[in-house]
Amino acid sequence: MVHVRLKNLHSFYKRKRDESAVGEGEEEGGNPNDVPHLFQIGELESQLQEEQGTATAGQLDELVQQRQGTDKQEEQEGDEEENQPNDPAIFRGIEFLERDPALRPQIWQYPNNQRDQVQRAYLQLGPMQPLLKKYKPSGPQGHQRRFNYIWFSQFPSWLEYSESSGCAYCFFCFLCSKNIKKRGGFDVFTAQGFDNWKKVNDGKKCAFLVHVGSTPCSHHNNAVRECQAILDQPSHIANVWEVTSAKEKESEGLLWCVAGASGLLELLNRSLTPAC
């Protein structure tokens, strides 16, 4: 009985792989020692893993540093926001108001029921326009500029100057200012202050003219109308004084009329009374 040994695909391709491996070894020199051992391959793999791990760790360190820098920047921005003058202010009288534009509280910091009183009191005081021998310089070294007192005569109703900060401010925009966090960009002449004097004497591009605006509905002109409306209110102190004076005059006139009438009645009684 003849036994036939069947070959399957696995044994067939296994033999092919073994023969090809032997042939390659003979072509390269036939030295079995040239084939890398298993432990050498393991060392190579471990080195590759260490290098990849080192690179990954370095990338993680960079990401951590970037994240820490971002966190620090956010903390600094948060501290700046906290350092902004957000504390509520209390109106205790016109004599206690801070005149320096850089040091005074903003109108929106006062309680709602006191803001009208504060606005009227500041309108009574007028803009802060100190006359100084020298104003604070600003700008890079060698190209510093100063505020010029003549500008007060060019913008007499609203231009202000702070001796503490050396910056210019707008009186009307301050009186009608809203929360600086909600109206970004409009706080240059109310809270931050303006000191880029190079842009003042620049013709039509003058920073003060640009602030006023070329349209009746500019932010500055709207503030001017609001302040005028405050002055026109019956409760304004000037109007109250005029009304009070008119009432006093009217009362004095009535008193004179009453006095004259009583004197006339007395004269009539005397004339009607028979002489003894």
Q: What is the mean pLDDT of the chain?
A: 74
Distance CA 119, CA 236 (A): 10
DSSP annotation of 191 reads I
Q: Give the pTM.
A: 0.56
pLDDT category at 124 given cuts 50, 70, 90 is very high
Tell me the residue range of the domain where 121 lies: 94-232
- Band (35; pLDDT cuts 50, 70, 90): very low
Q: Taking a C-beta distance cutoff of 8 angstroms, is the pair 100, 164 a contact?
A: yes
In this predicted structure, which of 137-141, 168-172, 190-194, 237-241 has the lowest mean pLDDT? Answer: 237-241
| 143 occurs within a structural domain | yes
CA-closest candidate to residue 179, choices 101, 74, 84, 92: 84
**253 vs 128, which has greater pLDDT?**
128
Q: How much is the pLDDT for 178?
A: 81
pLDDT of residue 268: 47
Would you say residue 198 has pLDDT above 60?
Answer: yes
Give me 189's structure tokens. 């002449």
CA distance 41 to 20: 21
Number of CB atoms found within 10 A of residue 174's CB: 23
Strand intervals (E) in 152-268: 159-161, 168-170
User: What are 219-249's pLDDT values in tens digits?
Assistant: 999 999 999 999 888 754 555 455 455 555 5
Is position 147 within any domain?
yes
Q: Within a domain: residue 54?
A: no
Domain membership of residue 101 (yes or no) is: yes
The answer as to whether 155 is a domain residue is yes
Q: Does residue 148 belong to any structural domain of this protein?
A: yes
Residue 234's pLDDT is 72
Looking at residue 13, its pLDDT comes to 44
- Does the residue 80 lie in any domain? no
Count: domains in the chain: 1
As given in the structure block, the two tokens for residue 77 are 């921005």
Provide the pLDDT for residue 203. Answer: 87
189 found inside a domain = yes
| Residue 12 scores a pLDDT above 50 | no
